[in-house]
Structure 1
């Protein structure tokens, strides 16, 4: 009798776990596609390009200064006294060092600006994905653009349209 009850309990447990497993909902979305469709992304791109152009223009001016100094040095080095030649070579090296430092600082500045501009966009999309996940009862929503998903079946729901609706995109 105890054995029959044990089998009944185990059987009920297995049946309930199978029924629960069938209720699991998985979804997927392509975050890159969603972000590319947002008007905020285009605006952020424009601001980032403007910042990059400003930095490039300044770099070009510094490079032109370096080139002029170097050309003048090459043209006159044979006739320059030793002291002036040495001083000019040091000046050219200092300009090259400034160029290198400026380039490094410009890259850091551009990276910081990029993060500053894109972070609110990423947060907005993540909030929309979270809201869709909660509203639709998904356990997981995978990002297809990250290429982490190893298998994708037809049973996974494409959450892209739901997230687009949440973001106000058509």
Structure 2
């Protein structure tokens, strides 16, 4: 009996303690989509990616051209020249693959460039998150857009707008009627 009473008291304590902790969530994809500096960094990343992908594609196109030339001349070549050309082709392929890994590999140039371009933006978001959490006394703040699965989210716990406000980003859409009024006032001729 004493054991059951102790267990009930212990469970009650944990339930009360858990209720005292505040939590919330944000949608980082939405937040970053509203940030011009994030869009600019993303655009720069795409430019670098396209440039490097084009370089790699050119390397493989050159290898393909050399392979076709080798196949056309293969009948006329001696065994020694065939081996030499095949080795040259293998070296070129290896170089192209290594360059591809150097650019798009785990710690490649693309990864480093992304880190360099995104760091200031993400640090700014992190400062805003920390400030909002301190102001709202949140213990936990989850990212709704991450791999962390949130089956249900109550909008009452959504702090995305607070983060956007802290970043100085306006999220309120211009009402259609106000926009139409501004358009009409600009197009009307004074009498």
TM-score bracket for the superposition, by shorter chain length: 0.7 to 0.9
- What aligned pairs does 1:18-97 form with structure 2 within 5 A after superposition? 24-97=21-94
Q: Which runs of 4+ in 1 moved over 4 A?
A: 20-24, 148-151
SS at 1:77 equivalent: helix
CA distance in 2, matches of 1:153, 1:50: 39
SS at 1:138 equivalent: coil
TM-score (norm: length of structure 2): 0.71
**Aligned pairs, number:** 154
1:18-74 residue CA offsets vs partner (Å, 9 max, x unmatched): 6x8766533221122111211111111111111112212221221222112111100
Structure 2 gap segments, 5+ residues each: 1-11, 171-191
TM-score (norm: length of structure 1): 0.79
Identify the structure with bigger relative contact order (alpha carbons < 8 Å, sequence gap 6+).
1
Structure 1 gap segments, 5+ residues each: 1-13
- How big is the alpha-carbon RMSD for the aligned residues of Structure 1 and Structure 2? 2.4
CA distance in 1, matches of 2:141, 2:67: 58
Aligned to 2:125: 125
